A and B are shown apart, each in its own frame.
Chain A
Amino acid sequence: MNVRKAKHGTLLTVLFTIISIAYVYPIFLVLINSFKKKAYISRDPFSIPQGKIFVGLDNYVKGIQKTGFVQAFGLSLFITICSVAVIILCTSMCAWYICRVKNAATNTIYYLCLFSMIVPFQMVMFTLSKIANILHLNNPVGIIVVYLGFGAGLSVFMFVGFVKSIPLEIEEAAMIDGCTPLQTFFQVVLPILKPTCITVTILQAMWIWNDYLLPYLVLDIKKYKTIPIAVQYLKGGYGSVDMGAMMGVLVLAIIPIIIFYLFCQRYIIEGVVAGAVKG
């Protein structure tokens, strides 16, 4: 019985190893093709780059030049980090307030946030981009406000879910000791909220880093390109795509994410689970 079970286990390990290899294969394929001369990429993507097909790092150089990848990377990083930081700070404060001060106004805010979560972006995309234009939010700093506004629903909802479980006594003790509400929040409540902060950070960062349509419509794209916009920009109008440059840029776009993932894997997976349970 035990031997059979062990055999069963090994068989499954082998099976899942094969599936895993198949799972990574698409990324591996892009990596291989990024070293090929562009004419050979669409003709035979499965061949191995060698001899005259191999072009070294040419595709990367071309891809970086054509898309301004370095600036795009910096811009994506800037927008993601700043937006997430602002979202965490503002929405956790907002959530704590609407949990502690119960009246019609805070109730309305809560339900509006809940409501905003089921509204698809297409519903507001046109008006949002026009409003952002009128208010001069069409730059990397302004878009942070837009992200705070559009991302507020989910974050407020998740923070409220957690604040509800914090016992009031802790805060009351702090207030009796003479803390102002601001001190109470930053010195007592925010440290307790840390796990939720991580969850919200992960969910929002995954969304903002990969978001294409919102920055494309809101930002002045002649000046500012995030990574997804830069990739899509390569495809351009009606002309043919430079597959070589495309492959190079794809690899460059994927590698930082994978490195980040391997380092923060535990937090990412826990964040996703916590987010799902609350959501």
Chain B
Amino acid sequence: MNKAIKKYWPVFVLPTMLAFTIGFIAPFILGIYLSFCKFTTVTDAKWVGLSNYAKIWGDASDPFLHSLWYTALFTVVSVLLINILAFVVAMFLTKKIRGTNIFRTIFFMPNLIGGIILGYIWQLLLNGILTHFQRTLTYSSVYGFWGLVILMCWQQIGYMMIIYISGIQNIPGELIEAAKIDGANSRQILKNVTIPMVMPSITICTFLTLTNGFKLFDQNLALTDGAPSKMSEMLALNIYNTFYGRTGYEGVGQAKAVLFFILVAAIAITQNILTRTKEVQQ
């Protein structure tokens, strides 16, 4: 059977692999190569070694380091807030409350709206509130920061809640019954039964929120566009602006992109290993 299928590879695998090569493999390899070059398009690249990587640091007009810390802080705050709130909401909505289905529907809805549109919705609302205090979102990067945190919570709590709900519903009822019979109070049940049992969901949700936070671009672009003076610019937007906002810096942009990739990959892998070890074998 294996052999019969094998010679059909041009039909089964070739289309995907061609597109995959165009859409991923070639750009990826070329991207790594170009990060060591000076270029304006892909055809005029000149090898310059590590100088692009050196230029990333210590450029006063380019707040790369600031955006790195800004992004890291944003990610930590948003991961914690989103996951805790989503878990709490999921705990409530798995109890027998009237209307849980409607609540779930409503909480999930913002996920389907695109980042650009979400950004402008919240710009209107937050600026509306802030005008009463004679401020705007772009007054300081702190406002932009919390604006983005609120926006991301609003968007992602529903998504994570859905995943947590399915995790909680998969806990066998007998397990909680047994804990109750053994005299555990509700806090002990939560700590020793529920949380260990939903650990797979926690792994997935922290993974998703973590990578979403680091890669955030659309919302950042629409909500503040980095204002004031690039102080609310996150990593992805910083890289984009280096590429397309400054001529002659394409190489530096590509070098930043490579660092960005390494960072995201390292975080994703570390997180996966860390939470996987905490999962209960079933």
Chain A contact residues, CB within 8 Å of chain B: 9-10, 12-13, 16-17, 19-20, 23-27, 29-30, 33, 41-46, 90-91, 93-94, 96-98, 100-102, 106, 109, 112-113, 116, 118-128, 130-132, 134-135, 137, 145-150, 152-153, 156, 168, 171-172, 175, 180-182, 185, 206, 209-213, 227-228, 231-232, 243, 246-247, 250, 253-254, 257-258, 260-262, 265, 268-269, 272-273, 276-277, 279
Contacts and interface: CB of A to CB of B under 8 A. Distances in A.
Interface residues of B, number: 92
Q: Which of A120, A206, A279 has the most CB of B within 10 A?
A: A120
A231 B121 CA distance: 11
A125 B257 CA distance: 9
A148 B34 contact: no
A119 B42 CA distance: 20
Given A29-B124, A148-B19, 20 more contacts: A19-B103, A20-B107, A27-B121, A46-B128, A93-B12, A112-B25, A121-B215, A121-B217, A125-B243, A127-B26, A128-B27, A148-B16, A149-B20, A153-B24, A180-B4, A210-B114, A210-B116, A210-B218, A258-B112, A269-B108
22 contacts: A16-B99, A23-B154, A24-B106, A45-B125, A93-B12, A93-B16, A102-B2, A119-B265, A120-B261, A122-B236, A124-B257, A126-B31, A148-B16, A175-B4, A212-B115, A228-B114, A232-B116, A250-B121, A262-B105, A269-B104, A277-B204, A279-B204
B109 interface: yes
A272 B159 contact: yes
Contacts of A172: 1
A26 B121 contact: yes
A120 B154 contact: no
Contacts of A145: 19, 22-23
A45 B265 contact: no
4 nearest CB pairs, A to B: A149-B23, A210-B114, A45-B128, A149-B19
A273 B107 CA distance: 15
Contacts of B166: 273, 276-277
B250 interface: yes
A66 B92 CA distance: 45
Contacts of A132: 22
Contact of A119 (B41, B115, B124, B261): B261
A231 B15 contact: no
A253 to B, nearest CB: 5
Contact of A123 (B112, B154, B260): B260
Interface string B18-42: 0111111111101100100000011
A124 B113 contact: no
B125 A29 contact: yes
Contacts of A135: 22
A122 B108 CA distance: 27
B264 A118 contact: yes
B28 A181 contact: no
B253 interface: yes
B235 to A, nearest CB: 8
Interface string B109-134: 11111111100111011011001000
Interface of B: 1-2, 4-6, 8-9, 11-13, 15-17, 19-28, 30-31, 34, 41-42, 92-93, 95-99, 102-117, 120-122, 124-125, 127-128, 131, 154, 159, 162-163, 166, 200-201, 204-205, 208, 211, 214-215, 217-218, 221-222, 235-236, 239-240, 243, 250, 253-254, 257-258, 260-261, 264-265, 268-269
A110 to B, nearest CB: 11
Contacts of B112: 206, 210, 257-258, 260-261, 268
B116 to A, nearest CB: 4
B248 to A, nearest CB: 14
Contact of B97 (A9, A41, A42, A116): A9
A257 B110 CA distance: 10
Given A93-B11, A94-B12, A213-B218, A118 B105 contact: no
Nearest to B127: A42
A137 B125 contact: no
Contacts of A33: 124
Contacts of B253: 126
B27 A131 contact: yes
A182 B8 contact: yes
